[in-house]
Structure 1
Amino acid sequence: MIWVYKYDENYIWQADKDIEVDVENGEEIPKGYTDKQPPDGLFIAKYDPKKEEWFESATQEYIDSLQSDPPPPDDVALLKKQVALLTLQLSQLQRGGAS
């Protein structure tokens, strides 16, 4: 038994439709399937039947849209920034005002 990997009419991997095929007992790989496993890390895996390999078909814009926004700064980071600003203002006042 081997796992085979389903792709649609546009050769896009259909991960939820992978199946096992008993090739040792003469069962053939169905049309629209391949025994080449898509590599990990592809966002939209697309199969090239001529080269018998998978490649990334997602655009960089699509991949970027899946990335989460950075978290807001935490309270400690905000306090450090405020202390730095106040320290700068204090040193400017001690020298006779802002330059």
Structure 2
Amino acid sequence: MHELYQEEHANNQPKQVKLKYYRDVFNTEFNLSFHKPKKDVCNVCFSYNNSSEQEQLEKQDEYDNHHSRKTRVRQLKAEYKALAKDDKSIRAVTFDLA
């Protein structure tokens, strides 16, 4: 966000604020903080992990199918990355659509 701020105010403001000051303003004035999440969790996994044992039993098939698809997609991603590394005419691109 600080980089976007710098780009936006490159010509409009004579002196831009440093990253530390930028963070301090967000932390104190807006009660917002910056951190990198430890791990991104999809809705299916989040729902399953936060369900009761009974609900988990009901969702077990959906959860198992989800993990099978996830494993297969990761395998495909690794294969395409390897192809793109070896063949410069191939590009491997991924998107998070959530």
What TM-score does the superposition give when structure 2 sets the normalisation length? 0.24
Of the two, which has the highest radius of gyration?
1
**Higher RCO (CA 8 Å, separation ≥ 6 residues):** 1
- Tell me which protein shows more helix as a share of its residues: 2
